[in-house]
Structure 1
Amino acid sequence: MAMKILRYSVDGSSYYGILGIDGNVERLKCSPLEQLIPAGYVDHLESARILSPFHRPRIFGLGYNYRAHSQEVGKSTPTLPVLFMKPSTTVIGHEDAIIYPSDGENIHFEGELTVIIGKEARHVSEGDALDYVFGYTCGNDVSDRVLQRRESEFGCLLVGKGYDTFAPIGPVVETDLDPANLRLVTRVNGEVRQNGNTADLVYGVSALIAYLSKYMTLLPGDHIMTGTPAGVGPIKPGDTIEVEIEGIGVLRNRVLAAAEAMG
């Protein structure tokens, strides 16, 4: 059954819940990765703060996984998934601030469909892969292009993708979607910068899960950020970034200068 799951805080305590069409949230007793058991409480979304869907998950990222994006940056279509990882401390939630580094020169947004694994997966076939998905959400793979290019010259990629706050995720997890045909739009200050569709993915969700699980065990709560469409570009302090994916919603984050964030 399709539902929208979110993690949120009320009066300093955090909970998981199911978002209703009326905007109310049916609180759950425990993580939805364990069981979907109602706690017997209903919270009002307007009095809650939406958090990232899961606290500090493992994050797998994909490079050059949209054909049009590969073309815009002058790369050939990859012959295998181009993978990297983002530290769990990069994750922030809906309406949290992306902190622009004090020495940042060229920081980019990257709107992405993000897959959340629901159960342990190892040696999974493409045909069975979607059975291991808990749901889908919006993501923004914020990237420091200067550091990214310097690292890539030596065949590695970590710091350029790994600043704290460089992985906004949310606002909700939709448990039932067809990931093969979803419109993705990214806006900066209301202006559309990306307008893509997951049909343009080189490696779709099933292929990515099968590929990763061939080499390592995927765990409940793992995130796979599936890559970004064409149209990536720079951001600056004061900007508001919105990533919208049909069937899920809008992930919104403001960019804040490091000095301002420190008070």
Structure 2
Amino acid sequence: MIWGRIATADGRILAGEIRESTLIPHPSVGRAPLPVPPEPMAGATLLAPTVPGKFIGLWNNYQASAEKNGWARPEHPLYFLKPGSSVVGQGAQVSVPRQAGRVIFEGELGVVIGQTCRNASPEAAEAAIFGYTCINDLTSLDVLNADPAFAQWTRAKGFDGFGVIGPVVATQVNWRDLTIRTLVNGRERQSYPASDMIFSPAQVVSHLSHDMTLEPGDVIALGTSLGVRPVKPGDVVAVSIDGIGSVEITLVAPPQAEGADIGS
């Protein structure tokens, strides 16, 4: 199954299985289809394929980067949380706040949870995985390391638009066969095999499910490997994985006058 989420030409937000240029609406990940006709994809805009209640990111989960940087192999997945307001999808324009300073891309494979998962064995965790998607875990290096007493993981990775997910979720791919590629302005900057993970997706889901209940639609970014680089406004960054697709965003400068933006 290919799962997506769209904004229709008349402004409706729908999610479900994408099949033969139509979307078969479902109420949510892991639920049966709604008793409504398929929605034509013509004129629709792809959105982030899920709205995660939890967006979890891993650090130091690839052997190649651990070896190059001299990092010890962790005994438990090392992770942080990104806020839901960071989530954007295919084609988004991401404003780089002035206070962010140096920003890097991190192309990653993402897991989408399909069923409630708590204290799961690796086998049960495997069954709880709905599918896989592309992630760009944008990160402010200057913010992350600004205070020597406290690494600011949440702030550095939590700016609006810094959690890129998409373009779809693929449910029938073998993660061991996947290669994660990141292109900046069309030039390949990352290319590494998912098979180099320290913790497999099922192991990650199992470990995390002992720390917190994982729920349908939650996303886990499985970490990145070698090749991350700074990017700047004007750059077009795409994370591409065969069998899933490519999620592309454009970085833009912040507005000249940034003031309070208060919703009603």
Q: Same fold (TM over 0.5)?
A: yes
| Map of 1:35 onto structure 2 | 32
RMSD between aligned alpha carbons? Answer: 2.0
Residue 6 of structure 2, aligned match among 5, 8, 14: 8
**Who is 1:143 aligned against?**
139
Q: Structure 1: state its 5+ residue gaps.
A: none
Displacement of 1:31 in angstroms is 2.0
The aligned counterpart of 2:261 is none
The match for 1:80 is 76
Corresponding position: 1:25 with 2:22: yes
Please give the alpha-carbon distance, in whole angstroms, between the structure 2 residues aligned to 1:107 and 1:204: 28
Q: Would you say 1:222 and 2:215 are equivalent positions?
A: no
**8 Å contact 2:135–2:165 — kept in the other structure?**
yes
- 1:44 partnered with 2:11: no
- The aligned amino acid for 2:75 is T
The TM-score, its normalising length taken from structure 1, stands at 0.91
Output aligned runs, 1:75-114, within 5 Å: 75-114=71-110
Shift of 1:156: 5.1
Report how many residues are paired: 258
- Relative to 1, partners in 2 of residues 1:19 and 1:53: Cα closer, same or farther, differing over 3 Å? same
Q: 3-state SS of the aligned residue for 1:211? A: helix
Query: More displaced, 253-262 or 126-135?
Result: 253-262
Cα 1:153/1:185, change in 2 over 3 Å: farther
Q: Which residue does the alignment assign to 1:212?
A: 208
> Between the two proteins, what is the percent identity of the paired residues?
33
Sort the Cα spacing of 1:207 and 1:33 in 2 relative to 1 into closer, same or farther, 3 A. same
How far did 1:41 drift?
2.8
Label 1:121 to 1:211 Cα distance change in 2 as closer, same or farther (>3 A). Answer: same
Contact 2:29 2:217 (C-alpha < 8 Å) held by counterparts: no
Q: Specify every segment of 5 or more residues in structure 2 that has no aligned partner in the other structure, as ranges.
A: 259-264
Q: Is the 8 A contact 1:27 1:38 kept in 2?
A: no
Residue by residue, what CA displacement relative to the aligned partner does 1:127-162 show, whole Å, maximum 9, x if unpaired? 221100111110110000111123574255210111
Other structure's SS at 2:22 match: strand
TM-score (norm 2): 0.91
Q: Is residue 195 from structure 1 mapped to residue 194 from structure 2 by the alignment?
A: no
Structure 1 73/233 Cα, relative in aligned 2: closer, same or farther at 3 Å? farther
Distance in 2 (alpha carbons) for counterparts of 1:39 and 1:94:
26
Listed one character per residue, the Cα deviations across residues 215-253 of structure 1 (whole Å, up to 9, x for unaligned) are: 221111111000012100100111000101121000111
Q: 1:17, 1:25 within 8 Å by CA — same for their partners in 2? A: no
Counterpart residue identity of residue 217, structure 2: G
Cα 1:119–1:27, aligned 2, differ >3 Å: closer, same or farther? Answer: same
CA distance in 1, matches of 2:33, 2:223: 30
**Does 2:251 align with 1:252?**
no
Aligned residue number for residue 262 of structure 2 = none
Q: Counterpart in 1 of 2:56?
A: 60
1:186 correspondence with 2:185: no
